[in-house]
Structure 1
Amino acid sequence: MHYQSLVTALSLGSAALALHGQFPINIAEEIGARPLDITNSNPGHLNSISSNSEQWRFDECPPENATGNLIFDTVHSLLQHWPNTRYRNGHNIVPGVIPIGTLLYHGTNGSRIIPSGPEWTAMNPEHSIYFSRGNGSGWHLTLAATRPLKVLYFDGSSAAKLSEGTMDVQDIIAWGEPRPERSFDEGDRINALCAWGKEFGIDGFVSEVMLCDFTAGVEVVSFVHIALPRDDRSFPLSTSVDPNTCQSSTCGLWHNRYPGDSRIVLDLTGLISLYDTALAPSLISARAGFGRLDHRVFGISSDDISRVMRKLIKVVTRPHPVGSGIDWKTLLHVIVDRYADRLELTRYLLNVTLSDPQELLERAKLVQFQLRVMLTPYLLHSTAIPNTGTLGIYLSQWASPIFSLCVTTHTSQITNLKPLMTSSELLLLKAVEDTTREICRITIKMWAVGVMSGFDTLFPIELNGELDVTQIMNDWRQDIGKLMSWLDWSVWIKCRPACGPEEMCYLSTWPINAPRPERPLLSPRNSQNLTNFPETQYVADRVTQPKYPTMPAEDWGLPQPRCIRRLQPYGF
C-alpha cells in the first residue's frame, strides 16, 4: 500500500479505502478488544480526549505563520550560549535577578578607578581580563552582589555590536525604535537603558551585565593590578584566537547547553516575546519569506512598540510573587529531553540506502520499534484497529485518542491553573501545546502507518498485498526531516564526529568571525526602509580600526559547528 493512502486512511476512514479496493489488510477482530484499565488515571481526561476525533486530525499542519515552535525554542534556549550564538538576533525580554553573593568582574587597561556611571561587567573573570590587556598589565575589579540585583535579560547575541539585528530589542527600550546604524554607539545605549530603568529600580541589563551603578547593590571584593601578556590583542589578524582566553565570544562556551548560566535567575511569568503575534503583529509580514537567521525586530510598527513598552512597564512594576507557580523552564526542558534523542535516532535509522528488500523491511521494522518506544506511554490498551469490513469506522478514531493523550499529557492538569496565569504564562502554555501537538501528530502518524503496514509486533495484522517499503521509508524520512526542521532545536547542532580532547566544538561568532564592512550590514529588506542612512557617523573608527583580531567566517550567514584546537598552536 502506498504511504499516502495510509495517511489518507487516518483522515478519511477505512470505508472509503475499502470501497476503492486500496486497503489490503485483514485484522483479527480480537485485536484491540482488551478493556482499558483506568483505575489510576483521570477518567474525565480520557473521556474528553476520545470524544472528538475531529480536533485531532493528522492532516492538519501548523499554520504558516505559527510561532509557537519559535517561542518554545527561544525560551528553552535562554541563558545558553550555543543556541543564542546560532540565532544571534534576540526576540525576548525577561525580568530576572542576580542573587546575593554573585561575583561580577570588570577589567581595564587604564587606572584603578571604579566606574562612576554605567559600565559593562562580566560573569567570568577570563572575559573581563581580556579588556585589561595591552601593556603587560591591567586592573581587574571583582564585585559581589549585596542584594538581589534587578535586571532585564535580552536573548540572542545581544552583546554583539552588529547592525544585523542583535541590538534591535535593546534599541526599542533605549531609543524607542531599532537603530541599526548605531550598533557601535554603546555608551549612549547603556546610558539610555539605565536612565529608563532607574524609575523602576532596575540595576542592570544582561547581555554581558550592563551595570548601571557600581555603588548600588554591590561591594568591592578586590581591585588588583595583574600581570598579563603584553598587548595580546595586537597579534596578526591571520592568527587564530586562543579560546582559553575566554573573550566575549568564547567564555560563554562554558554555558553552551541547558541549564545555561544559572547565576542569573529569570522570571518567565514576565516573559515578553517579540514572536508573540498578538503583541507584535507587524512582525508577521516582516518575517515572511525569510529564514529564521534573518528574523529580527527591525520593521516593527510604532503601535507595536508602544504595546511592548506598556507590557514591559507593567512587568517591571508588578508586585511579587505573581503567576501560577509552574516551573516553565523545567517543563520545556522535560519535553526537549524526552524527544530530542529519540527523534535524532529515528532520523539516523531512516538515513540509509538499502537495495536488498529484506534488509529494507528489517530497517523499517526497526524504525517502527523506535516510534513505539517513543509513544509507549500513550498506546492505550483499548486501541482497536478496525478491519476493512467494518464500514463507518474511521481510522482517525482509533488513532486520535493516542494523539490526544500524547499532546495533552504535559498540560492537562496545569490548564486548571489558567485563572492564575499571567499573559506570559498563557503564551508559554500555547507554545508547549503547539510544539507537543506537532511532535505527536507526526510521530503517531508514522507509527500508525507502520502498524497498518504490518511492521509492529505489538499490533500484528495480516497483509493480503504487497507493500512499497521504499516509498514508506522515503516518506517517513521526509516527515521526520520536516518535523525536526520545524522544531529546530539547537541540541541537534553538534560536531560530527565529536571533537577530540584537544579540541572544542565551535560556531562562528562575533567578534572573531563577523564581517567588518565599512558601514553597518543591512539585509535588502531593511535597507530599503532606512532614511538618512549614516555614512560612517557611528562606526567608521571601529570598523576601519578593528578592536578585535578577526577571521571572517564563510558560514557567517548560517553558522555550522566545527572543531577548533584548544591547545597551542590554536587554529580553526
Structure 2
Amino acid sequence: MRWVDVLPAILTCASLSSAAQSPFHAAVTGSPPSEVSRGSNGSWHLNDTPAANATGHLVFETVSSLLQHWPNTRYRNGHTIVPGVIPSGTLLYHGTEQPVVPEVPEWVATDPEHSHVFCRGPAQSGCWQLTLAATRPLRVLYFDGTSASKMEDGPMDSQDVVSWGEPKPEWVFKEPERINDLCEWGRQHALDGYVRMEMDFEIMLCNLTSGVKVVSFLNLPVLPAFPNDPDQNFLAFETMNAGHWHNRYPGDERVQLDLTRLISFYDISLLPSLIPQRAGQERWDHRILGADPAELLAIRTHLESTLANKHQGSGVDWQTLFRVVIKRYADRLELVQYLLNSTEHVPATTQDEYERAAKVQLQLRIMLIPYILHSSVPSRFSASNLADLSWAEPVFTECATMHTAAIVSDFVIALTPSEKLLLRAIQETTREICRVVVRMWAEGVESGLDPYLPIEVEEPNVTAVMWKWQGDLNGLMGWLDWSVWIKCRPACGFEEICYLPTWPVGFRHRRRRPDFPLPNEPEDNDEWRRPQPKCIRRIEPYGF
C-alpha cells in the first residue's frame, strides 16, 4: 500500500519502551555442505564444525518463518520467493476515497484494520471500504521479510529483481511503477498478485475484477487516522496489532505456499556471488544488492521455469518437518541455557554447582534418549584420553540423520531442486544441533556427571565443564538464531504486548524524499536496523 499521505504522521508515533532482549546473531553465510546420507563413514567427528560460510541454517530459519510477522519484522530484508495460492472464499479489503472499484492494479489487505487506514475522504461524505471475496484460487508470489517497507536498505530487493532485474534502492518510493511492472511480468505466468508484509500482510492485486467479486462496498465515517497526539493513535496501533495476530507459526493462513517451488537467495548454487558480499556481516545486513547481474538474470529465468513447471514434488510435508525439529529442540536448548547461566556466580567447589551440572547432564540425555545406543559407552578413560569422544559418534549419527533418512533413501529421486535445498537445510541444521548436544553429553559422561553411565573421576573440574558447555551452547543458539527465542524479558503485563519496531512505526526511516518531514531523532538511533523486542501498551496511551 502507498503510505505517501500517511507516513509522516505515523512516524511521529515513534517512542521507546522497556523489556528489550538482545537477539542472537547468525553466522556468516555461504555454501552448504554436501548432502548427508545415513551411515556415512568418516564424517561424524564431534569436533568438525560447520563451514564458516554455511547457509543451510539460514534457509532453515527463513523457511520456518514464512508468513509469520514476528521473524519477518526482525529481519526485514527477505531472501525467499515462494509461489502460492489464496483459497476461494478468502476475504480481501481495500480502503478508498470513492465508491469505484479500481480498474488498475491496487493494494488489498488481508485484515480490515490494515485497509481502514486508507479509508479516507471528506468528513461530510465519509470514506469507502471495499470487501472482496476470491471466486477461485488466486495465484500469487510471496516475498518474505518486511517486503512492503519503503526503505533503501534491502527490504524490497527481491521484488525489484523480479520487476526490474536488479535491486534499485533509489526507486524505493516508485510503488505505482513497481506494481504495474510486477503485474505485467506476472501476466505471462497467470499470476494474480504478490503478497508482501509491512504492519500487516497485503496483496498487490493485479485485477480487482478478475477472480474476485464484491461482497460489500460500505460508506463509513472518516476517523482521524493520525491525531496530533501519537499516544491516542488507535488506528495505527490496531493495524500493527492485526499483524501481531500472525506473529508465530502458522502465520497468515490465508496464503498457502508451495515449498516445492521455493527460491532462496541463500542458495549459493544460484547466487555464489553473494558469499563475499555477506562475509563478515551480521544477518541484519544481508541483502541481495551486489549480486552478479548475470546470476540475477538466471534467478528470473529459474523463477519463470519454476512457475511453468507442473511437477508436484515428493509429497514430503517440509513445513511440518521443520516445525518438528524446532519443537523438539527449541524449549530444551533454552532450558539448558537457563541452567548454565544460573551457575555463573556459584563458587566452583560447592555441591550446588555439581548438582546443577548433573541437572544439565540429565537434560542433555533427555534430548538424546531416542539415539543413545546400548553400545555407546566409553571404552576407556584416562586424563590423556579426554579429547577422544569417538565412542559417542554413533549417537551423533543417529541423532543427525533420523529426520531425513527415509527421505534420502526413498524420495530423493522425486525431489524438486527446491526440495533438495530444503533437505540440505534440515540436514545441516540437525547435524550441528546433534553435534553440539552429543559432544556436551559425552563430555558430561566422562566427567562423571551421568548416573546412567557412571565413571569414577577424581576431583572432576565441574567449573571447566560448565564454562565450556556455556560457550558451546551459546554458540549453537546464536548460529541457529531461531526467532522463537526472541521475546520480551520480563514478560509483558496484561495491558501490554511484546512488540518489535515495525515499519513505518517506531524506528528511524532512511529515504531520499526531502519533501517527507521526519521526527527529530538522534542520528545514532540504530533501532530501525536492529529491531529489539519491547513491551508497549495495547490500550491508550500506546507509546510506540
TM range (shorter): 0.7 to 0.9
Alpha-carbon distance between aligned partners in 1 of 2:387 and 2:494, rounded to the nearest angstrom: 56
Which of residues 333, 337, 356 in structure 2 aligns to 1:347?
A: 337
Matches within 5 A, 1:538-549: 539-541=513-515, 543-544=516-517
The aligned counterpart of 1:403 is 396
Could you say if the C-alpha distance between residues 392 and 451 of structure 1 is closer, same or farther in structure 2, counting changes exceeding 3 Å?
closer
User: Is the aligned partner of 1:304 residue 2:295?
Assistant: yes
User: Is the aligned partner of 1:496 residue 2:489?
Assistant: yes
User: Is the aligned partner of 1:480 residue 2:478?
Assistant: no
Specify the code of the residue in structure 2 equivalent to 1:76.
Answer: S
The aligned counterpart of 1:571 is 543
User: Is the aligned partner of 1:438 residue 2:432?
Assistant: yes
Specify the code of the residue in structure 1 equivalent to 2:449.
Answer: F
8 Å Cα contact 1:133/1:233 also seen in 2: no
1:506-549 Cα distance to aligned partner (Å, 9 max, x none): 00111012324462xxxxxxxxxxxxxxxxxxx343x3379xx9
User: Is the aligned partner of 1:278 residue 2:269?
Assistant: yes
Greater mean alpha carbon deviation, residues 418-427 or residues 349-358: 349-358
8 Å Cα contact 2:386/2:446 also seen in 1: no
Cα RMSD (Å): 2.3
Could you say if the C-alpha distance between residues 505 and 397 of structure 1 is closer, same or farther in structure 2, counting changes exceeding 3 Å?
same
User: Is the aligned partner of 1:140 residue 2:129?
Assistant: yes
Could you say if the C-alpha distance between residues 322 and 246 of structure 1 is closer, same or farther in structure 2, counting changes exceeding 3 Å?
same
8 Å Cα contact 2:509/2:528 also seen in 1: no
1:474-530 Cα distance to aligned partner (Å, 9 max, x none): 1100000000000000000001111111110000111012324462xxxxxxxxxxx
User: Is the aligned partner of 1:150 residue 2:122?
Assistant: no
1:66-115 Cα distance to aligned partner (Å, 9 max, x none): 0000000000000000000000000000000000000000001x211111
Q: Secondary structure at the match of 1:300?
A: coil
The aligned counterpart of 1:421 is 415
User: Is the aligned partner of 1:209 residue 2:203?
Assistant: yes
Q: Secondary structure at the match of 2:204?
A: strand
**TM-fit CA distance, 1:205:** 0.3
- Report the number of matched residues: 495
Alpha-carbon distance between aligned partners in 1 of 2:280 and 2:181, rounded to the nearest angstrom: 34
User: Is the aligned partner of 1:337 residue 2:322?
Assistant: no
Could you say if the C-alpha distance between residues 483 and 398 of structure 1 is closer, same or farther in structure 2, counting changes exceeding 3 Å?
same
Q: Secondary structure at the match of 1:232?
A: coil
**TM-fit CA distance, 1:244:** 7.2
1:453-484 Cα distance to aligned partner (Å, 9 max, x none): 01001111112x22221111111000000000
Could you say if the C-alpha distance between residues 388 and 506 of structure 1 is closer, same or farther in structure 2, counting changes exceeding 3 Å?
closer
Alpha-carbon distance between aligned partners in 2 of 1:556 and 1:159, rounded to the nearest angstrom: 15
8 Å Cα contact 2:225/2:233 also seen in 1: no
Alpha-carbon distance between aligned partners in 1 of 2:307 and 2:164, rounded to the nearest angstrom: 18
The aligned counterpart of 1:507 is 500
8 Å Cα contact 1:508/1:553 also seen in 2: no
Matches within 5 A, 1:440-455: 440-455=434-449
Alpha-carbon distance between aligned partners in 1 of 2:527 and 2:50, rounded to the nearest angstrom: 30
8 Å Cα contact 1:134/1:232 also seen in 2: no
Give 5+ residue unaligned stretches, structure 2.
Answer: 1-36, 197-201
**TM-fit CA distance, 1:395:** 4.2
**TM-fit CA distance, 1:571:** 2.0
Greater mean alpha carbon deviation, residues 498-507 or residues 94-103: 498-507
**TM-fit CA distance, 1:239:** 3.7
Matches within 5 A, 1:76-91: 76-91=64-79
Identity of aligned residues (%): 52
**TM-fit CA distance, 1:398:** 1.6
Alpha-carbon distance between aligned partners in 2 of 1:63 and 1:155, rounded to the nearest angstrom: 26
The aligned counterpart of 1:170 is 159
Q: Secondary structure at the match of 1:377?
A: coil
Alpha-carbon distance between aligned partners in 2 of 1:222 and 1:48, rounded to the nearest angstrom: 57
User: Is the aligned partner of 1:187 residue 2:176?
Assistant: yes
Which of residues 324, 338, 350 in structure 2 aligns to 1:357?
A: 350
8 Å Cα contact 1:138/1:226 also seen in 2: yes
**TM-fit CA distance, 1:357:** 1.9
Q: Secondary structure at the match of 1:159?
A: coil
Q: Secondary structure at the match of 1:462?
A: coil
Alpha-carbon distance between aligned partners in 1 of 2:381 and 2:509, rounded to the nearest angstrom: 66
Alpha-carbon distance between aligned partners in 2 of 1:552 and 1:259, rounded to the nearest angstrom: 36
Specify the code of the residue in structure 2 equivalent to 1:544.
Answer: P
1:169-193 Cα distance to aligned partner (Å, 9 max, x none): 0001111110001111111000000
Q: Secondary structure at the match of 1:191?
A: helix
Alpha-carbon distance between aligned partners in 1 of 2:258 and 2:413, rounded to the nearest angstrom: 18
How does the TM-score come out when normalised to structure 1? 0.83
Greater radius of gyration (CA) = 1
The aligned counterpart of 2:23 is none
Q: Secondary structure at the match of 2:464?
A: helix
1:36-71 Cα distance to aligned partner (Å, 9 max, x none): xxxxxxxxxxx963x73x210111111111000000
8 Å Cα contact 1:107/1:130 also seen in 2: yes
8 Å Cα contact 1:118/1:214 also seen in 2: yes
Q: Secondary structure at the match of 1:55?
A: coil
Alpha-carbon distance between aligned partners in 1 of 2:142 and 2:490, rounded to the nearest angstrom: 34
The aligned counterpart of 2:26 is none
8 Å Cα contact 2:59/2:266 also seen in 1: yes
Q: Secondary structure at the match of 1:413?
A: helix
Alpha-carbon distance between aligned partners in 2 of 1:310 and 1:151, rounded to the nearest angstrom: 17
The aligned counterpart of 1:70 is 58
Alpha-carbon distance between aligned partners in 2 of 1:287 and 1:222, rounded to the nearest angstrom: 48
Which of residues 250, 253, 257 in structure 1 aligns to 2:248?
A: 257
The aligned counterpart of 2:33 is none
8 Å Cα contact 2:231/2:541 also seen in 1: no
Alpha-carbon distance between aligned partners in 2 of 1:244 and 1:410, rounded to the nearest angstrom: 43
Which of residues 111, 116, 121 in structure 1 aligns to 2:108?
A: 121
Greater mean alpha carbon deviation, residues 432-441 or residues 414-423: 414-423
The aligned counterpart of 2:238 is 246
Specify the code of the residue in structure 2 equivalent to 1:270.
Answer: R
Which of residues 519, 522, 529 in structure 2 aligns to 1:557?
A: 529
Specify the code of the residue in structure 1 equivalent to 2:238.
Answer: C
Alpha-carbon distance between aligned partners in 2 of 1:143 and 1:206, rounded to the nearest angstrom: 16
Could you say if the C-alpha distance between residues 181 and 48 of structure 1 is closer, same or farther in structure 2, counting changes exceeding 3 Å?
closer
Alpha-carbon distance between aligned partners in 1 of 2:65 and 2:38, rounded to the nearest angstrom: 33
Matches within 5 A, 1:32-111: 49=39, 52=41, 54-108=42-96, 110-111=97-98
Could you say if the C-alpha distance between residues 462 and 475 of structure 1 is closer, same or farther in structure 2, counting changes exceeding 3 Å?
same
1:210-248 Cα distance to aligned partner (Å, 9 max, x none): 00000110000001111242x322424x5474377533x
8 Å Cα contact 1:152/1:205 also seen in 2: yes
User: Is the aligned partner of 1:325 residue 2:315?
Assistant: yes
8 Å Cα contact 2:508/2:526 also seen in 1: no
Alpha-carbon distance between aligned partners in 1 of 2:227 and 2:171, rounded to the nearest angstrom: 26
The aligned counterpart of 1:27 is none
Alpha-carbon distance between aligned partners in 1 of 2:339 and 2:518, rounded to the nearest angstrom: 50
Specify the code of the residue in structure 1 equivalent to 2:363.
Answer: Q
Q: Secondary structure at the match of 2:532?
A: coil
Could you say if the C-alpha distance between residues 561 and 240 of structure 1 is closer, same or farther in structure 2, counting changes exceeding 3 Å?
farther
Specify the code of the residue in structure 1 equivalent to 2:91.
Answer: L
